[in-house]
C-alpha cells in the first residue's frame, strides 16, 4: 500500500483525498497494522495498473483473491436444487509454473468434457479416468474409494459436503518448510 502511494508521489493526505476518496486515517491504518481488504484491494489493483505498476497491481489482485477465498474449502459439492443438477466448485491456489500448467491442463480437459463433439468428450473422459488412477496410486485405492463413496452418499442425501465434512482426510502435498514468525504461521 505504502509502496503504491510513494510510487505515485503522494502523501497520505493527498492519496486519501485525490486517489482513494477516503479518510486520511484509513490510509494510515492500512499502512500500519490493518491492511486493506475487499473492494479496496480491487481499487488499488486498478490504480496500480493504470499507472503502469503491473507487478504491484498483481500483488493487490492476489491479495484480493486470497481474501475472497478465506474460509472456503478447496472443493464444495452442492446437491440438486430446484431442478438444477448437483454441481460443485473448485478453488485451489496454484503455486509455480508447473502447478499452473497442470491446472491449465485440467481446465482444458474439463472444457473438452463439456464439449458437444463426441470425440473430444471421449478424450476428456479418458484423461479424467487416468487422473483417478493417479489418485489411487498416490493415496491408495481405499482412500479414493472411501472419498468417492462419501461424496455419493452426501449427494444422495442432498447435503452439500466437502472432503473434510465427510471425515475423509486427503493428504496434501508438502509445499516447503513453514516458519514461525510473530505468532503467525507463514510459508
Write the DSSP assignment of 75-130 as a string of letters.
EEEE--BTTBPPEEEE-----HHHHHHHHHHHHHHHHHHT-S-HHHHHHHHHHHHH
Residues β-bridged to residue 76 = 89
pLDDT for res 173: 46
Judgement on whether residues 32 and 92 belong to the same structural domain of the protein: no
Average pLDDT rounded to a whole number, residues 14-42: 93
pLDDT for res 102: 86
- pLDDT band, very low/low/confident/very high, at 154 (cuts 50, 70, 90): low
pLDDT for res 161: 47
pLDDT for res 155: 53
pLDDT for res 52: 95
**Residue 31's domain spans which residues?**
2-69
pLDDT for res 142: 65
Burial string for 126-162 (b: 16+ CB within 10 Å, else e) reads ebeeeeeeebeeeeeeebbebbeebbeebbeeeeebb
The yes-or-no verdict on residue 172 having pLDDT over 80 is no
Judgement on whether residues 80 and 64 belong to the same structural domain of the protein: no
165 within some domain: no
176 within some domain: no
pLDDT for res 187: 45
Average pLDDT rounded to a whole number, residues 21-50: 93
Q: What is the mean pLDDT of the chain?
A: 79
User: In the numeric block, which cell numbers belong to residue 16?
Assistant: 486519501
Distance CA 45, CA 62 (A): 9
26 within some domain: yes
- 46 contacts 68 by C-beta, under 8 angstroms: no
Residue 187, C-beta contacts closer than 8 angstroms, at least 6 positions apart? 175, 176, 178, 179
The yes-or-no verdict on residue 118 having pLDDT over 60 is yes
Average pLDDT rounded to a whole number, residues 122-134: 82
Length of the chain, in residues: 187
Average pLDDT rounded to a whole number, residues 80-93: 80
Judgement on whether residues 26 and 60 belong to the same structural domain of the protein: yes
Amino acid at each position: 500500500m505504502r509502496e503504491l502511494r510513494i510510487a505515485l508521489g503522494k502523501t497520505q493526505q493527498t492519496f486519501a483525498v485525490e486517489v482513494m476518496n477516503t479518510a486520511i486515517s484509513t490510509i494510515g491504518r492500512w499502512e500500519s497494522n490493518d491492511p486493506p481488504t475487499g473492494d479496496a484491494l480491487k481499487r488499488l489493483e486498478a490504480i496500480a495498473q493504470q499507472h503502469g505498476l503491473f507487478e504491484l497491481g498483481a500483488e493487490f489482485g492476489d491479495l484480493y483473491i486470497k481474501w475472497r477465498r478465506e474460509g472456503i474449502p478447496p472443493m464444495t459439492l452442492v446437491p440438486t436444487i430446484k431442478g438444477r443438477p448437483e454441481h460443485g466448485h473448485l478453488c485451489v491456489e496454484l503455486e509455480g509454473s508447473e502447478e499452473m500448467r497442470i491446472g491449465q491442463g485440467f481446465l482444458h480437459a474439463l472444457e473438452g468434457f463439456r464439449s458437444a463433439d463426441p470425440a473430444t468428450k471421449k478424450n476428456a473422459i479418458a484423461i479424467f479416468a487416468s487422473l483417478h488412477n493417479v489418485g489411487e496410486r498416490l493415496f491408495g485405492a481405499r482412500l479414493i474409494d472411501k472419498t468417492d463413496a462419501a461424496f455419493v452418499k452426501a449427494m444422495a442425501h442432498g447435503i452439500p459436503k466437502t472432503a473434510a465434512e465427510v471425515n475423509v482426510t486427503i493428504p496434501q502435498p508438502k509445499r516447503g518448510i513453514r516458519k514461525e514468525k510473530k505468532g503467525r504461521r507463514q510459508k
